[in-house]
Chains A and B, each alone.
Chain A
C-alpha cells in the first residue's frame, strides 16, 4: 500500500515536472489560442443559460476561424493579463475589443478593424461635475489599468483606479468610490439595459473621433495576421460581419458610420435566484476540477519539499542550511501573488514555460514548502533527543530513525499548524484566477460580470470554500485524535 502511494506520488511529481507534450499541435488545422476576458458583455461573456462563451467578438473570431481554417482554443483571463499572456506565448491572438493606438501598433500585429465605436464618459446619474472628458481632470475613474480607455482617462488628467472589468468599474461608480468611467459606448449601453440601472448614465463622448477595435497578435506572427485580415475582409464582403453586428447591436458597427448601436432590447434580466441556480454547477465544477486538485497536489508536493527543506535547515552542513534558510526567507518575505506571477509570466522569459495548472502547482507547492518547512523543523526539534538516541541504539540509521521514530511523533505537533497551512492554501488557490485557471472563484467572477450579482455570487463562492474548510477541519480533528491515542489524555 505504502509502495503504491509512493509510486503514485512519484508519478504525479514527474507529470508536474515533465508535462506530457500537447499532442500533435502541428497537425492540420492549426490551433489558435484566443485570449478573451469572458467578462465583457456583450463582446465576450458567458451565456447565462448555457454557460457557453459567447458575444460579438467571440462570434466574429469564430467566423474568422471558419474562413481561415483554424481550430480555436479560448483562454479566458482578465484584461490586464491578456497582453502579458500574448507576450509569453500562452495565447496567439486577443479578441476582446482591442482599440488601435500607436503604442500597440508599434509593438503588436494588429488586424483590420472589425468594430467602430466611440468612447463615452459615464457618471453617477445627475452628477453635474462630470459633463465631458474635460471634467475628468483631477477626478478618479475606474478602468482596466492597461486598457486604451485607461490611457484616454489618464491623458485627460484623471487618476485611474485599476479594476478587472467593466462590471467592477460600474459597481465602484455606483458605490461612489470613483467619479467616472471611460469606456466603449456599446459596453455601457449593454450594462444599462441588462441591469436596468438608473444609478449611472452616459455624460457625453470621450472626445475622440471614434475608436477602432482590432485583433492583436504577436508582431512576428505575420502569416497568422495575413490569414486573419484576409478572413475579415471576406466576412465584411459577404455580409457576415454585418449580420453578427446587427444580431447584437441592431446596427453595423463593423463599418464606420454604420448607425448607432441600439441595445434597448437587452440580453434580458434574470432574478438573483436564477443567476445563482445557473452558476452553482459551473462553480462546483471549478471547485472539483481545479480548486481541490490544485490544493491537494500543491499540498502533497509542498509537504515533501517542506520536509527536505526542514532537514536541510537542521543539517550540520552550513551551505545546505544556509540555502534552506534563504529559501524560507524569500518565500515568506514575498507575496504569494508575486510568486505566482514570477512562475507564470516571468519564467517563460528564460524559457521555462508551464501550462497554467502546472505553473500554479509549482508556485503553490513552493509557497507551502516555505511555510511548512518551519513547522516541520520545529516539530522535529520538539521530539526529545533521547528518541533519536534510542533509535540509534536499536540499530537505526538517521533515515530510519527519522521515518519510523521521529516523524510519527513530530506529526502530532505538526498537524494543527499544517492544517492552517492547508486551509490557507485552499483559499489562496483563488489567486489561480489570474493565471488563466478557471477555478471556483473565477467562475463566480465570470457570472458576476455578466449579471452584476456581486453580493450573491461571491457569497455563494464563499460558501463553497467554507464548506470544504469545515470538512477539512473535521478531518484534522480526527487525525489529531488518532495521533494522540498514545499520549496521556
Chain B
C-alpha cells in the first residue's frame, strides 16, 4: 500500500459526446517515473490533468498517497471543489507553456504557493526556494521577471515552483513541446536529475529517447485506453501492438 504512490482505476471522461478516457487504470510505485506516450487526442493530457483534478473525470478513482477521490461520488458545489483541492494538493504540476506568473519575480513565483496557500514561514520557504533555484541552475536569476528569461529557463523555474510545494508526485505536461530545440536538453536534464533523486513523476512527452532513459514504466495510450504498458525496453524497444509501432515509427522519423 505505501509503496504505491498513485493508483488509478476505471477512469472515464467525456467532453460532450467525445469520450476521451474510456476506463483507465494503472499504479505508480513510490519513487518511480511513469511516462505517458500516445498520439495527440489519445487522452494522455486529460489523464494527467485528472490526476490533479484540473479536469474532473466523470467516474473512476484516483488515489495519491493517502488522498483518494471517487469521482462518481464527488458531491457538486463547494464540497466537491474542496475534495478536488485536497487531491490537487498532493501534486505539483509543470505545464507545457510554463504558466509562470508574469507579475511576480522568479523567487516570488516559487514562494507564492508555499507561503500563501500552505501558509509556511516565509523565511524558511525563501531559503528552500534558493536551494531549488540552485538545483535548476538559476541561482542568479531569483529577482528576474519571467519575461527576462529564455524558454528553457522559464520552464526550469516552472519545475522549481512545482517542487517547492513538496508534493507527493510531480506531473509534467509535455514540458519541452513549446521550447526551441536547442533549449530542450537543459530542461530534460533537470527532470532526469529529479528522477535520480527519487521523485515520483508522471510525464507526458513526445521525447522517446528521454522516455527510454528516465521511465520506469511507459503507458501507451490511444483512443482513451492504455493500449500497451511496461518497461521502456518492452514498450519502446519491442512494442507488441501495431498502433504502438505505427506511433513510434512516426515520432522517431521526426525526432
Contact = CB atoms under 8 A, between A and B. Distances in A.
A393 B102 contact: no
A409 B81 CA distance: 25
B99 A395 contact: no
B85 A400 contact: no
Interface string B86-104: 0011011101010111111
Interface in B153-167: 161-162, 165
B147 interface: yes
B85 A393 contact: no
B112 interface: yes
A397 B89 CA distance: 11
A396 interface: yes
B79 interface: no
B103 A386 contact: no
Interface stretch (B113-121, B179-187, B204-212, B245-253): B113-121
B100 A393 contact: no
A394 B117 contact: yes
A389 interface: yes
A405 B93 CA distance: 17
A347 interface: no
Contacts of A391: 101
A487 B102 contact: yes
A486 B88 contact: no
A393 B54 contact: yes
B199 interface: no
A404 B162 contact: no
Contact of B112 (A394, A409, A485): A394
A125 interface: no
Nearest to B100: A390
Contact of B91 (A387, A393, A404): A393
| Interface size grouping (class) on chain A | 20 to 34
A400 B99 contact: no
Nearest to B117: A395
A239 interface: no
A392 interface: yes
Interface string B59-100: 000000000000000000000010001001101110101011
Contacts of B89: 395
Contacts of A404: 112, 116
Interface string A357-394: 00000000000000000000000000010110111111
Given A386-B97, A387-B101, A389-B54, A397 B91 contact: no
Interface residues of B, number: 28
B134 to A, nearest CB: 20
B97 A409 contact: no
B95 A390 contact: yes
A24 interface: no
Contact of B54 (A392, A400, A409): A392
Contact of B99 (A390, A397, A487, A488): A390
A392 B146 CA distance: 19
Contact of A393 (B88, B97, B147): B88
A252 to B, nearest CB: 76
Q: Among the interface residues A393, A395, A404, which one has the most CB atoms of the partner chain B within 10 A?
A: A393
Contacts of A394: 92, 112-113, 117, 161, 165
A387 B99 CA distance: 6
B95 A395 contact: no
B116 A393 contact: no
B62 to A, nearest CB: 15
Contacts of A400: 116-117
A486 B148 CA distance: 9
A312 to B, nearest CB: 17
Nearest to B144: A486
A158 B147 CA distance: 71
A389 B99 contact: yes
A486 B147 contact: yes
A290 B85 CA distance: 49
Contacts of B100: 390
Nearest to B49: A389
A390 B101 CA distance: 8
A393 B101 contact: no
Interface in A19-70: none
Given A486-B145, A488-B147, A393 B103 contact: no
Contacts of B217: none
Contact of B92 (A387, A393, A409, A486): A393
B85 A487 contact: no
A393 B112 contact: no
Contacts of B162: 393
A176 interface: no
B28 interface: no
A395 B165 contact: yes
Nearest to A389: B54
Contacts of A384: 99
B81 to A, nearest CB: 8
B52 interface: yes
Contact of A486 (B81, B103, B118, B165): B103
Interface in A424-467: none
Contacts of A408: 103
A397 B118 CA distance: 12
A311 to B, nearest CB: 16
B147 A396 contact: no
A386 B112 CA distance: 16
B165 A409 contact: no
Contact of A397 (B85, B104, B113, B145): B85
A488 B97 CA distance: 17
A285 B100 CA distance: 49
A387 to B, nearest CB: 6
A411 to B, nearest CB: 9
B110 to A, nearest CB: 9
Given A384-B99, A386-B95, A400-B117, A395 B54 contact: no
A389 B101 CA distance: 11
Contacts of A397: 81, 85
11 contacts: A389-B54, A389-B99, A390-B95, A393-B54, A394-B113, A395-B116, A396-B113, A396-B117, A485-B145, A486-B103, A488-B147
Interface of B: 52, 54, 81, 85, 88-89, 91-93, 95, 97, 99-104, 112-113, 116-118, 145-147, 161-162, 165
Interface of A: 384, 386-387, 389-397, 400, 404-405, 408-409, 485-488
Given A409-B102, A488-B147, 16 more contacts: A389-B54, A390-B100, A390-B101, A391-B101, A393-B88, A393-B93, A394-B92, A394-B117, A395-B88, A395-B116, A395-B117, A395-B118, A396-B116, A404-B116, A409-B103, A486-B146
In the A-B complex, list the 5 residue pairs whose CB atoms are closest, starting with the nearest: A394-B113, A395-B117, A390-B99, A386-B99, A393-B93
